[in-house]
Structure 1
Amino acid sequence: MDNVRIGKFKGFTTFDLKIIGIVLMFIDHIHQMFVPMGAPSWLDWFGRPVATLFFFVSVIGFSHTRSKEKYMLRLYLGMVLMAMGSFFLQKIVGYEEVQLMNNIFRDLLVGTLMMYGIDKLSEGFANKKFGKILFGIVMILFPIISSGILLSLMSNPSTIMAAVWGANFIPALLFAENSVMVLLIPLMYLAKNQRWLQCVLIALVAVLFFFQGSTQWMMIFAVIPIMLFNGEKGRGMKNFFYVFYPLHIWILYLISAYMYTH
């Protein structure tokens, strides 16, 4: 008999986690795009664990990438292109029933900047280099400080448009799709060698959402595939997500616009 393993589950690879996230995300975005046509609200439930899954995958990816700077650059380009693409698509189509606010690249970039800052802070303390310590602190605080600056500018009628446009190019925490929930990324990074602690952090955030009456508490279900993660990369799909994420949102948006107007 061939050395083919049949029915032996060895856990999920990083590739598997991405695929799970993509499938759940797609279902969630069907709900988002087809609400004007009466899409059932329960479709939204499928998307609640997605951000958490991608946050966990970003911690794994950042921990193992060869160039953390290139990793951040890819996310930055993804963030800007997504923002610009969605803006111009909405202007051209003029379909106001659905707003394209999605940009997970911003969330992941904010978290990655903080992880990068944690690394520099750790290196600075280890080598007793004040410059690296200071740089690390700046990187960690940048998404928070930039949020405050942008919000301040938005409160002034004379600077509001500059701030709105600036938000497309600045990775600010409070302008991320998942806002302060993005802080889970640096927290999970600090606990990257303790999977149980990462899951506890996820559970604590889920409990907070539960008591707020938000369906986001369903993010707790991300713990299941995370606990089953086997530490392996699996098949490579380095650039697939960068293309699939904006493309599927824009295509669903166009289909929704066509169906609504015909």
Structure 2
Amino acid sequence: MVASTLIRPVPIIFFFVSVIGFTHTHDKQRYLLRLLVGFWVMNIGNLIVQHFYQIHGGQAITNNIFADLFLAVLTMYGIFTFKQGKKLLGLGIILYPIIASIVALLFVQAGNGALTQIFLAIFPSVLLAEYNFLLYLAALMYLFRHNRNLQVLCIVIFSIIYLLMGQTQWIMIFSIIPIYLYNGQKGRSMKYFFYIFYPAHIWVLYIIAAIMSNRLS
């Protein structure tokens, strides 16, 4: 519980980095594709790990930050497309995360569980994103990418909202420290490190938890 609380600033830093990545990449569509492939690969990996290891009580792996990052960057791409003059296409892209969630809910209401699972495994949606509508904070940080003070203000406002709701996600306010201190310079290139480290560390922690759970049960 303590560990999950302390990492609340992490997704905001991920979102901030995604804004920088999207702003500076020469191939925005390829950047989106990498995140989507990461989402698919992690979904498959989650199923494989859970096939061989189960935590006593049936706890499943629900982590997949790639869904949040893909939807956040897709929303940025929608804003970018809108500003390029393709307003209808841009608006459709911006609305995709919500539309995908509505379609998934329609599958749920129709009682088609298998089709719902397949749809959610293929198409990222707000419905199963780890941080839900918090991904729109990334869109705001993209809009204010040339004004660090406004980016920080957005984080503060979202943090206050979560605090008033009584949710520990308000601790994300501490992400403003590294974000505000960022000097805008590119560090050592570790382009694909995150794509490997993130799912790997989730799977390793889950396997450890499964082994410990089964020994204690």
Normalised TM-score (structure 1): 0.79
1:100 aligns to what? 61
2:139 is the counterpart of 1:186: yes
Q: By how many angstroms is 1:96 displaced?
A: 4.6
Within a 5 Å distance, the mapping from 1:64-213 to structure 2 comes to 64-97=24-57, 98-124=59-85, 132-157=86-111, 159-213=112-166
Q: By how many angstroms is 1:163 displaced?
A: 1.1
Contact preservation (8 Å) 2:12, 2:175: yes
One-letter identity of the residue aligned with 1:151 = L
C-alpha RMSD of matched pairs (Å): 1.1
1:17 aligns to what? none
One-letter identity of the residue aligned with 1:121 = F
**Matches of 2:69 and 2:214, distance apart in 1:** 35
Q: What secondary structure sits across from 1:151 in the alignment? A: helix
**Matches of 2:170 and 2:44, distance apart in 1:** 31
Normalised TM-score (structure 2): 0.95
Which one has a bigger Cα radius of gyration? Answer: 1
Q: What secondary structure sits across from 2:186 in the alignment? A: coil
Contact preservation (8 Å) 1:154, 1:161: no
Q: Could you list the per-position Cα deviations for residues 3-54 of structure 1 after superposition, in whole angstroms to 9, with x for gaps in the alignment?
A: xxxxxxxxxxxxxxxxxxxxxxxxxxxxxxxxxxxxxx32222211011110
In the alignment, structure 1 segments of 5+ residues that lack a partner are 1-40, 125-131
**Matches of 1:45 and 1:101, distance apart in 2:** 16
One-letter identity of the residue aligned with 2:18 = S
1:261 aligns to what? 214
In the alignment, structure 2 segments of 5+ residues that lack a partner are none
Within a 5 Å distance, the mapping from 1:12-31 to structure 2 comes to none
One-letter identity of the residue aligned with 2:171 = M
In the alignment of these two chains, the number of paired residues is: 214
